[in-house]
Amino acid sequence: MNEYSESAARFARDTAAHRMTVLHDDGLYRHLVFAEPTHGFYWFELTTTPGQLVFSGDGDSYVFRRTEDMFQFFRSGIWRNGSHNINPGYWSEKLTSGREAATSYSEKLFQQEVTETLADVEDDYPGIAAAWTEHVESEFNTEYEEEALRALSEFRFGEAYRAKCRECDWEFEADSYSVAAGKARDHRREVGDKHAAPVRDLTFTFSDMGEMRLQDFDWWFLWACHAIVFGIARYDRVRKYGLEALAVRKAVAA
């Protein structure tokens, strides 16, 4: 089972009864439509011109540019036995319609990042995982990126401040900055001006929020990747067996 088997299974369910209609097929100029004849859900189409492939359908559209024949480019994801694999990381680099459209906030990734971070500091901050759970459940819905980021920015645990002298071994820790700073000033007055004791905030916060990976491939972009290789494979199969006439849209009598 590969990394994208879940999205592959969904795509297979959504397109189980899809049929291909060829609206245009002239060398590198192609226009293929895939849809369920009885309804319009999850339809999609592939359009190519030299050097470009456009995916459009029942959601966002994507434009890819890489080689003159983009069908040949995406055929790398089609295996000899007819199955296929996708490479969304590499393929997203070929988007000219905006790479940011390929990704979206992932609550699953958010939870993984937070869990790993808290596990790393649990020994230094006992009880931090439970405190985080209580914090989130109190008022945040991390299904939404804005709420998730707010939950991170407002979380503080183990409030503590340490004043440590630069000249000697003296140090003092308190749960209040003002108390620690006051003790540092007293120490300096008692032993001399060289004995400054800066106060360090030991409170845990998610200070490295910007390094957290919260974006993952959007489900629709993955769906589109599956659709592209599926559509090309079906197109190739029809041409291989000389069945092009079956895929051409029938003319409607006047």
Please report, in tens digits, the pLDDT of each residue of the chain (254 residues total).
Answer: 467 899 999 999 999 999 999 999 999 999 999 999 988 899 999 999 999 999 999 999 999 999 999 999 999 877 766 567 899 999 999 999 877 889 999 999 999 999 999 999 999 999 999 999 999 999 999 999 999 999 999 999 999 999 999 999 999 999 889 999 999 999 999 999 999 999 999 999 998 888 888 999 999 999 999 999 999 999 999 988 776 666 676 543 43
Minimal CA–CA distance to 237: which of 20, 16, 69?
A: 20
* Residue 202 and residue 47 in contact, taking contact as beta carbons nearer than 8 Å: no
pTM across the whole model: 0.77
Under 8 Å CB-to-CB from 178, ≥6 apart: which residues? Answer: none
Under 8 Å CB-to-CB from 211, ≥6 apart: which residues? Answer: none
Gyration radius (Cα) of the chain, Å: 29
The structure tokens 């707010």 sit at 150
How far apart are the C-alpha atoms of 118 and 95, rounded to whole Å?
A: 36
How far apart are the C-alpha atoms of 232 and 105, rounded to whole Å?
A: 30
| 235: its two tokens | 């197109």
